[in-house]
Amino acid sequence: MDPVLTRYIREPNCHTLAFYEQHGGYQALKKAIGMAPDAVIEAVKASGLRGRGGAGFPTGMKWQFVDKKSPRPKYICCNADESEPGTFKDHVLMERNPHLLFEGCLIGCHAIGAKVAYIYIRGEFYHVQLVLEAELAKARAAGYVGKNIMGTGFDCEIHIHRGAGAYEAGEETALIESLEGKRAQPRIKPPFPAVEGLWGCPTAVNNVETLCNVPFIIERGAEWFTSIGPEKNTGPKLFCISGHVQKPGTFEAAMDVSLRDLIYDPKFAGGIRGGHTLKAVIPGGSSVPVLLPHQLDIPASYDGIAKAGSLLGSAGCIVMDETTCMVWAAQNLLYFYKHESCGKCTPCREGGDWLHRLLGKIERGEGERRDLDLLVSVANNIMGKTLCAFGDAEATPVLSTVALFREEYEAHIREGRCTVPAPWRSAHAGARAVAAH
């Protein structure tokens, strides 16, 4: 598949309005404004576009659920909080192709009857925000954003909203809370944002990559989109490969590409780093179950990876070679989750800390046999027992590594030491993790 979303990203000035206009920019917007909003939604539904943020929910349906009869204003909130460990694709799109995102936001607003879109960008992406702000000003000056867009009578504003460091702000209702000027904590659903979202108004929260696909669907048609990739897993997709590979990076492919090719093909990540062998892969950001080397001959699609027992998630694929201790890896991730838990639900807030402590104990060689059962028990008491998906995300690294690498956990307990030490790790990291809290 020829790249669609990232076609021009290596060309100089590809982020500028002039470049975007020369390559057909904002023509899809013009076409969309000429269509009835429902027709835009129908086109997106027919394309089969699924949300690229993690959950894979059909975008057209999400837009259709927006309560159009409500007398209140409607909003698009673009989720640019990209924080799932192992994920760095939206960053590329915003940095190199900001106008594509603006165009996607504007078409989305037309479709759901919104006059304002907010792009919620994580605070750490400040250099990206500077690009967005500068290009947004140009788009506004050129009449693509603001009043009477392209002389069509359509009014729509886009604003950039800067986050301040919170993984949980990537959860759609927590993102809305944060946009309202509060802690990024999730809300009880229902009501869903489509009915009561930002300031109680009907809201669609869409990921950056999702919105970036929309102009192409309008311009080239749903049929073109469905011709890319397998059924129900249509359209171009960005994959982020990091960890122990030769060539880490963001790669665009159709979702019929195999997970093995993404990791080994020289076109993509180019295989495991010199002299090493593959041990485990987390295919969809740190929150999804681990896959083993023999499980990679599957399409890297929502359904393909789900069938293998994991999730495509945010398509952040973390690759680990044989030098990686899986107890250490789980501990590393549980530090992340306990640190980022918003604290609203007890199982997640308390359980994350317990899991991290237990993993630390086992990793240090102080684990007892009963700790392994306790670890699984605590994880199972978080799973499915929280308001948002964070709880499941937190329990998953533990449950999945214990299931697949139980022998490694047992060896740590039996031998009273880490049995897979690596020279690239630090003897002090464990103590630091304890000292930090």
As a whole number of Å, the end-to-end CA separation of the chain is 48
List the structure tokens of 78.
């673009």
Contact map string, positions 384 to 423, toward another protein, x by CB under 8 A = ----------------------------------------
CA torsion 64→66→68→70, rounded to 10°?
160
Please choose, from the candidates 392, 322, 334, 399, the residue with its C-alpha nearest in 3D space to the C-alpha of residue 363.
Answer: 334
**218 versus 315: smaller Cβ distance to another protein:** 315
Site membership for another protein, residue 122 (CB under 8 A): yes
Query: Which 258-317 residues touch another protein, going by CB under 8 A?
Result: 282, 286, 316
* CA distance linking residue 399 with residue 403, whole number of Å: 6
Site membership for another protein, residue 12 (CB under 8 A): yes
Selected range binding another protein among 56-64, 217-225, 329-337, 385-393, rule: CB under 8 A: 329-337
CA 172 to each of CA 55, 197, 240: distance values in angstroms, whole numbers, following the listed order: 11, 9, 22
Site membership for another protein, residue 85 (CB under 8 A): yes
Site membership for another protein, residue 244 (CB under 8 A): yes
Site membership for another protein, residue 428 (CB under 8 A): yes
* CA distance linking residue 423 with residue 270, whole number of Å: 23
Query: Which 86-105 residues touch another protein, going by CB under 8 A?
Result: 86-88, 91-92, 95-96
* CA distance linking residue 393 with residue 406, whole number of Å: 20
| Number of amino acids touching another protein (CB under 8 A) | 73
Selected range binding another protein among 46-54, 196-204, 366-374, 378-386, rule: CB under 8 A: 196-204
**231 versus 424: smaller Cβ distance to another protein:** 424
Please choose, from the candidates 62, 38, 43, the residue with its C-alpha nearest in 3D space to the C-alpha of residue 113.
Answer: 38
> Dmax over Cα atoms in the chain, in whole Å?
74
Selected range binding another protein among 51-59, 60-68, 76-84, 215-223, rule: CB under 8 A: 76-84
Determine whether 411 is exposed, middle or buried from the number of CB atoms within 10 Å of its CB (0-12, 13-18, 19+). middle
Site membership for another protein, residue 432 (CB under 8 A): yes
Q: Which of 149, 318, 398, 418 binds another protein (CB under 8 A)?
A: 318
Q: Which of 153, 181, 274, 275 binds another protein (CB under 8 A)?
A: 181
Q: Which of 159, 369, 370, 406 binds another protein (CB under 8 A)?
A: 159
**125 versus 225: smaller Cβ distance to another protein:** 125
* CA distance linking residue 159 with residue 111, whole number of Å: 18
List the structure tokens of 47.
């394309």
The residue type found at 307 is: K
**47 versus 210: smaller Cβ distance to another protein:** 210
Query: Which 352-391 residues touch another protein, going by CB under 8 A?
Result: none
**66 versus 342: smaller Cβ distance to another protein:** 342
Reduced to 3 DSSP states, what percent helix, strand and coil does the chain have, rounded to the nearest 5?
A: 45, 15, 40
For the CB of residue 39, give the shortest distance to another protein in the complex, in Å. 30
Q: Which of 340, 392, 394, 408 binds another protein (CB under 8 A)?
A: 340
CA torsion 192→196→200→202, rounded to 10°?
120
**294 versus 428: smaller Cβ distance to another protein:** 428
Report CA 328 to chain centroid distance, whole Å.
Answer: 24
